[in-house]
Amino acid sequence: MQTDLVTSNLSEMARALGKTRDPELIEDFLRSLLTASEVDEISKRWALVKDLAQGTPQRVIAANLGLSLCKITRGSRELQRENSPFRRLLVVAGYDVPDRIVMKRGPRAKAVACDD
């Protein structure tokens, strides 16, 4: 990965997106930038973060969204981090996010080995 290229361009896009007050432009930009598969994946990841914040068990999220428990576990870890960007963006989007999020694995819960 070209770290400098990624960092500079991602930062530039973030600044540009942060300046616009036009949600339609942002959505059009994302749909133009990303493949249909990437749009699907990002949309599911946003849905899983919202579900986790609402206390939905991980296995229910996996079944509803067709995502691996590894992706959901990663999302839950990120959501629980101090000053989590996931939590902050959920609040910006208007979601009520509890201070402490209890992660529920659901029935038949067992540890899942994941490669991050």
What does the alpha-carbon distance between residue 31 and residue 90 come to, in Å, rounded to a whole number?
A: 21
Name the phi and psi angles at 111, rounded to 5.
-65, 145
pLDDT tens-digit profile of 35-56? Answer: 999 999 999 999 999 999 999 9
Residue 63 has pLDDT above 90, yes or no: yes
- Dmax over CA atoms of the chain, in Å, equals 46
Contact 103, 54 (CB under 8 A): no
Q: Which residue stretches of 20-98 are H helix?
A: 23-33, 36-53, 58-65, 69-80, 85-92
Residue 100: the pLDDT is 75
Binned at pLDDT 50, 70 and 90, residue 10 comes out as very high
Residue 65: the pLDDT is 97
